[in-house]
Structure 1
Amino acid sequence: MKLIIFFFCVRFVCSERHTFTIAYTEINGQTIAGFPEISAVTTLDGHQIDYYDSVTKKLIPKQDWMRYASEDIWEEYTEIRERVQQINKINITVLMQQLNQSHGVHVYQRMYGCGWDDETNESDGFDQHGYDGEDFITLDLKELRYISALPQGISTVMKWNNDTEQLELLKQYCDKDRIDWIKYFLTLGKEALTRRVSPSVSLIQKNPFSPVVCHATGFYPSAVNITWLRNGEDHDEDVELGEFLPNEDGTFQKTSTLNIYPDKWKKDQYVCVVEHEGMTIQKNLTEDEIKRNKTLSTWW
């Protein structure tokens, strides 16, 4: 079995680390009409930029600037999805045989891509394979070899590691060929991807007896740090950090919840601190700062 792996990176004008990731999901044994057996999503610094599945058989742009890609590039990019789709189809069949599974619904997932720092020019690649929700095979790029988290994957790892031609091809994509893709995506998405938008920060409480949520929204890029201070000191007890969520306009939102009752936070001075792109925004936890609105209940 030949495993063909494509690695792409994207560079921008500003100096920072960026990631470019392609994630495939294949579901074997599902019989729902119209539901794709295979789907692929490409993300750039956390933004989805395209989508492909086995039903539409088309690469669909998810950012306006992706629509300006040349026809040749678009065809090549689609062909890559089709080739990897066929490889993944073989992989899941082999895995089922190795695990003595002749039927049932099983999920094979693969995520690969790279991270790149445009100031230091340092880069790293990754290729991760999962099966039914568990890690299965992972690439160690420094050693240029695959390792398996499960005994059932040892035979596959040995085959892939013995394919020196394929490993060298993989290394070539990481070390050289990524530059063309870096320049191309920079040209396409330069204006949109280099923008900087500061967050809007609010303290929200569903009712007077609920935890207080520090809500940062409308910021870009996605890197943000939300912390709490108690009487001027870092406070991480009773704090629950939420996940990054995308907004419809391409910006992000994130929350940090302080799980204490009002009678406690009224005795001390609590401050929510949001750091983004060198800017720091602080919100003092007081009754005057808290927003309570019945319409906000749909946000939870």
Structure 2
Amino acid sequence: MALIAFAANSVLCRLALGEGTIDAAGFTVVRLVSGMLTLGLILQCQRKSPRSVSRGSWGSGAMLFLYAIAFSFAYLSLDTGTGALILFGSVQVTMVLLTVLSGHRLIWSEWLGLIMAFTGFVYLILPGVTTPSLLGFCLMAIAGIGWGVYTLRGRGSANPLMDTTYNFLRALPWVLVTLLLAHDRFSFSSQGLLLALMSGGLASGVGYAIWYTALRELSATQAAVVQLLVPVIAALGGVMFVSEPITLRLTIAGGVILGGILMVVLGRYYTARGRGAV
């Protein structure tokens, strides 16, 4: 569910910005504010008090904003599939690198799965599909770094819904700065506003809370690699909703990425099981 929400964000953002129905700064502001309000409403509707009180962190709020603002401006010059590939390729590199630097050792099946998934990623963005602009590539890479750090900070969250709600709340100071700097350039239609609200309230707010819940059952490496499935979902969404073409390259790359994800997710379990049998 979380991965579908991530892919929906790429499709919704591309629909809104690609057709000029809203500006990038305005999309980010509406997205983050609507996400915060939706999460706050859900939190208030909980009938019982949470077992643990968790209020996110200022660092996570800053990373959430960095991801969201870079993500929006990057999609001014990227198509849906290419943008998602750059984003989650950067996420994977960031999370795996930080995990290895923290002292966690990967087993052979995780390394092989990483190589397979990343090979599929590189194959899909090679010239011949859509060559991204340098600015778009850099902005989406920054968005990926922000999301990778945000994800790692959320692992082990005792109360995913509350943490996510407060992370959105802690991003508000940055939203206010954006309003002050870019309010005179805001431009949006009813369609653009609706797409931003859907991205914020459903795909971001609810989707991120689900993601924080899922992280409790995933290793950092698994969380990094499984997100490479999002570009495939996003590219298919681009085909269905943005009339972008489906290609043989997308099909091959999707299969390689899925195979790599399978090796990472299942490899450690079966390796440990085999050692236990010995």
TM-score (norm 2): 0.27
TM-score (norm 1): 0.26
The structure with higher relative contact order (CA 8 Å, sep 6+) is 2
Structure with greater proportional helix content = 2
